[in-house]
Structure 1
Amino acid sequence: MKTYKFLFSGKWAGYFAMALVFAIACVALGNWQMSRRNDVVANIAKITANYSGTPVDYDTVSANFDHLDPTKEWTQVTLKGSYVSADERVVRNRPLNGTPGYEVLVPLKLENGDTVIVDRGWLPIGYKVPGHPDVVPQPEAGIVTVVGRLKPPEPKLDRGAPDGQLASIELNDYAAQLPYAIKTGAYAQLASESPAAASIPVSFPAPSIDEGSHLSYAMQWICFGVLAFVGFGYAARMQRRNDDYDAMEAAESGVPVEEVYGRGSAFQPRQMKKVRKAGTKPTAEEEEDALLDSQGF
């Protein structure tokens, strides 16, 4: 009976190498998905801790408006001062739930002299003047108390914007348009203000805390890697069974295995040839087949 010695052949070593490379690739992709999940889980933990946490005074986190600590994103901050409505800007191309629109940025001059930017909310596209919202609700004049959530500024976009508008929340560009200094390391996304204005932009929804399908994708890739070796083992088992069967047939017919079957493998089934036992007269069909074979048919 045959054994698994064929596994040491060059051909089967190549099959094993292919299975190994495929498995390594699957593990790498699984680790990549796990890394993405870990990032998402860490962000969810940050949102859960900061988004609805107790608001802190501006003085305790003022340095974050110069350089935002990523762990402080979404932290609620209490700001007291007056809006500079004359210097408000509309940020264009800001979809909300799939609907195109704008966001409204307004400088807030604090009682200590610092000026921070407050994103007061979202506005739908306008129909009176193309490229502009129909109405921009104004905040209350005088001293207001604002609770806002810390957000990092956005990258600069390679596109312009009409006067009174910004292409993105890139605070250095905004600062260049103002005659006074503003904090450019972070801005505040409005949560509430008191006294509240009669009309306000649409409030932002809470950020998603859905971690997505990264974990299931990672498990799938790991399973694919394992299946590569399961498939290799199954193919080896089928090769062993084929070899044993071939040996038994050859022993019964008295003809070498290679003459009974075309050469093949577990991945390419052998083609059986008709075999005539020694000492028997060829049949008419066998003589016809031999003639056709000799003529190349």
Structure 2
Amino acid sequence: MYRFALRPWWIVSHLFVLALVVTFVGLGLWQLDRLDERRDRNAELAARIDQPEVALAELVPEGDAAVSEDQVEDRRVTATGTYRPDEAVLVRGRSLRDSPGSWVLVPLELADGRVVAVNRGWIRNDGRYSAVPEEYAAVPAGEVTVTGLTHPSQERGTLGATDPTGTELTSLARVDLDRLDEQVDGELLPVWVQLTQPEAGAPDPSPEPLDPPVVDDEGPHLSYAFQWFTFAAIALGGYPLILRRVARERGRGGPDDAVGLDEPDPHDRPAPGDPRLDAPVEP
């Protein structure tokens, strides 16, 4: 009953289904690898955030111009200094809860004279603002202590926007500390601080501080892996059923998909009234 499955067209079909199954399984395993990577990153992030809060001056000692990303990424710090609102800039294209907006980046002059860029938080911006709007330009007066997470300078990706040089900008495409250093007086630290809570005496309105990173979000990788494995199971289980149906139809004398266009169907017998019975026989 299943000899038809050895015909060339069916062999191509078998190979195609096999390739689909291998691809689906491979994609499922790839998603599981991505899940393991995500879990490892979450564990590393949780370990960094759980470290004791330190003073920024201790994390980046004076005279230490080079710091590694592992040293400063997502470290909880405090810093005391005085804001420089005249040097504040927007960081464009930063959405929050699916709403368009920007970050407000303000330099903070520390007691040792060095300067650190502080991300005071998010404001709604649908494109109308190319500089920090007046209502969000006010900062706490005098000396202020900020609490937040440190991050290294952000770098441009392959297709990211480029900020021009040689002019003073009121907005940046990213927290590019090298570019910001061109227009900030003093020694700018190679890290920036993301506020996790408003400063004492913060004016109203103030930018909304960003939420700390989520350490238990594993993303959609597990569900994607389940979907790919499900597709593979459907192909493995469904294809034999198709072969069985075709074999049963052949056994009942039904349509035979296995017969090629250039091959007669051995089961095809003309019935009475078939025009082929009246066709003249060639000598």
TM-score of the superposed pair, with normalisation by structure 1:
0.70
1:167 to 162, 170, 173: 173
Three-state SS of the structure 2 residue aligned to 1:79 is strand
Structure 1 stretches of at least 4 aligned residues deviating more than 6 Å after TM superposition? none
| Closer, same or farther: CA 266–145 of 1 in aligned 2, 3 Å | farther
Q: Report what 1:264 is aligned to.
A: 257
Instruction: Say what the alpha-carbon RMSD is for the aligned residues.
Output: 3.9
Alignment-mate amino acid for residue 18 of structure 2: L
Change in Cα spacing, 1:93 to 1:213, as seen in structure 2 (3 Å) is: closer
Alignment-derived partner of residue 280 in structure 1: none
Structure exhibiting the larger radius of gyration computed from Cα positions: 1
SS for the counterpart of 2:60 is helix
One-letter amino acid matched to 1:232: Y
For residues 144 and 114 of structure 1, do their structure 2 counterparts lie closer, same or farther at Cα, with a shift above 3 Å needed? same
Counterpart of 1:95 in structure 2 is 95
Structure 1 unmatched ranges of 5 or more: 247-260, 277-282
Mapping for residues 9-158 of structure 1, pairs under 5 Å: 10-51=8-49, 54-62=52-60, 66-70=66-70, 73-125=73-125, 131-132=130-131, 133-156=133-156, 157-158=161-162
Q: For residues 162 and 59 of structure 1, what CA distance do their matches in structure 2 show? A: 28
What is the Cα deviation at residue 119 of structure 1?
A: 0.6
**Contact 1:236–1:266 under 8 Å retained in 2:** no
Q: Does 1:181 align with 2:187?
A: yes
RCO comparison, higher one (Cα < 8 Å, 6+):
2
Instruction: Note the C-alpha offset of 1:159.
Output: 4.9
Instruction: Name the % identity.
Output: 26
Q: Is the 8 A contact 2:82 2:142 kept in 1?
A: yes
Query: In structure 2, what is the Cα distance between the partners aligned to 1:86 and 1:107?
Result: 9
In the alignment, does 2:220 pair up with 1:217?
A: no
User: In the aligned structure 2, how far is the partner of 1:23 from the partner of 1:124?
Assistant: 47
Give SS of 1:228's match.
helix
CA distance in 2, matches of 1:189, 1:24: 45
How many pairs align? 267
- For the residues of structure 2 that align with 1:266 and 1:162, how far apart are their CA atoms? 76
Instruction: Provide the rounded CA distance (Å) in 2 between the counterparts of 1:23 and 1:126.
Output: 46
User: How far does the alpha carbon of each residue in 1:178-206 deviate from its partner, in whole angstroms, 9 at most, with x for none?
Assistant: 2322123x311012465433333222234
With 144-153 and 154-163 compared, the bigger mean Cα shift is at: 154-163
- Partner Cα separation in structure 2 for residue 31 and residue 22 of structure 1: 14
Question: Does residue 290 of the first structure (1) align with residue 277 of the second (2)?
Answer: yes
Q: Which amino acid aligns with 1:237?
A: R
Change in CA separation of 1:162 and 1:101 when aligned onto 2, cut-off 3 Å: farther
Task: Select the structure that is richer in helix.
Answer: 1
User: Under a length normalisation based on structure 2, what TM-score does the superposition of the two structures give?
Assistant: 0.73
1:16 aligned partner, one-letter code: H
Q: Following the alignment from structure 1 to structure 2, what is the Cα–Cα distance between the partners of residues 231 and 267?
A: 23
Contact 2:198 2:209 in 1 (8 A): no
